[in-house]
Structure 1
Amino acid sequence: MQARIYQRPKNAMQSGKALTEQWILDFAPAQAKRPDPLMGWAGSGDTQAQVQLKFPTREAAEAYASKHGIDAVVHIVPPKRLKIQAYADNFR
Structure 2
Amino acid sequence: MDARIYKPRKSAMQSGRGKTHEWVLEFRSGAERSADPVMGWTSINDTTGQVRLHFETREQAIDYAKREKLTFTVDEPREPKRLVKSYSENFSAYRKQPWTH
TM value normalised by structure 1? 0.89
Q: Answer with 1 or 2: which has the greater Rg.
A: 2
User: Which segments of 5 or more consecutive residues in structure 2 lack a partner in the other structure?
Assistant: 96-101
Equivalent position of 1:45 in the other structure: 45
Equivalent position of 2:98 in the other structure: none
Within 5 Å, give how 1:15-34 maps onto structure 2: 15-34=15-34
Question: How far is the alpha carbon of 1:90 from its aligned partner?
Answer: 3.1
Please give the alpha-carbon distance, in whole angstroms, between the structure 1 residues aligned to 2:25 and 2:40.
29
Deviations 1:12-66 (A, max 9, x none): 2122212211111111113111222222222210021121111111110000001
Equivalent position of 1:59 in the other structure: 59
Q: Which runs of 4+ in 1 moved over 3 A?
A: none
| Partner-residue secondary structure (3-state), 2:21 | coil
Amino acid across the alignment from 1:35 = A
User: Which segments of 5 or more consecutive residues in structure 1 lack a partner in the other structure?
Assistant: none
Identity of aligned residues (%): 40
Let me know the Cα RMSD of the aligned residues.
1.3
Question: How far is the alpha carbon of 1:83 from its aligned partner?
Answer: 1.2
